[in-house]
Amino acid sequence: MSTTTDLSYLHLILNASLLVQLVILSLVITSFVSWTMIFNKRVMLNRAKKEAEKFEGQFWSLEDLSPLYNRISNSRNPLTGMEKIFEAGFKEFARLRSQENILPDAIIEGAQRAMRIAMNKEIDVLETNLSFLATVGSTSPYVGLFGTVWGIMNSFRALGNVQQASIALVAPGIAEALIATAMGLFAAIPAVIAYNRYTNDVERLISRYDIFMDEFSSILHRHAHS
């Protein structure tokens, strides 16, 4: 009488070797963390782009920027993005301009330096977790492949203990090994796609911040020499 081997995914995982189980578990946890970061990063970048568009509209609609600075500096909400860059530059510009015997070029350089520091801090926030996604995308397939190699090796070792080999003896071990590879790809592919997409979005935001800094510096330059 022939017996049917249970090749369901759950059965294969539960009956896999301890090392293969650890590999699969680590990939499942990594995938969960990765997806959490992907969704959080998507929300953050969408918010950053909307805030940049909103602030640019306010910035270019005003001739006198003092009321805009006063409103932003007195806001209870934490400043981010362009608002933070603008607030840092305008604050340093006003502070240096109130002092005596300071050349206009020195005032502009101080304001630009303050904006550059603020922008670098914003870049650090925007790039948070991108390195993790890159690491997941590059290493997960190899982790899964390690589990696959180990599972297949155990299957062939088991053949050495029997007199008559059959596909039924090695099928469960190979199947459980291939699950590790599948889990590695499941963790890696979304991480790679998200990393490439979000890196492009961050670079576009950085370029937008740079352009704003140049335009704002030109305005401050005219005020400093007036």
Domain residue spans of the chain: 26-224
Predicted pLDDT at 9 = 58
Lowest-pLDDT range of 2-11, 62-71, 140-149, 200-209: 2-11
Task: Look at residue 211 in the predicted model and tell me its pLDDT.
Answer: 94
Distances (CA, A) of 134 to 53, 140, 143, 198: 29, 10, 14, 11
Q: What secondary structure does DSSP assign to 167-186, as a single string?
A: HHHHHHHHHHHHHHHHHHHH
**pLDDT-wise least confident of 3-12, 61-70, 73-82, 103-112:** 3-12
Please report, as a single letter, which amino acid is at residue 31.
S
Which residues are CB-contacts of 55 (< 8 A; sequence separation ≥ 6)? 81, 82, 83, 86
Closest listed residue to residue 34, CA positions, set 136, 131, 172? 136
Q: Are 24 and 184 in contact (CB under 8 A)?
A: no
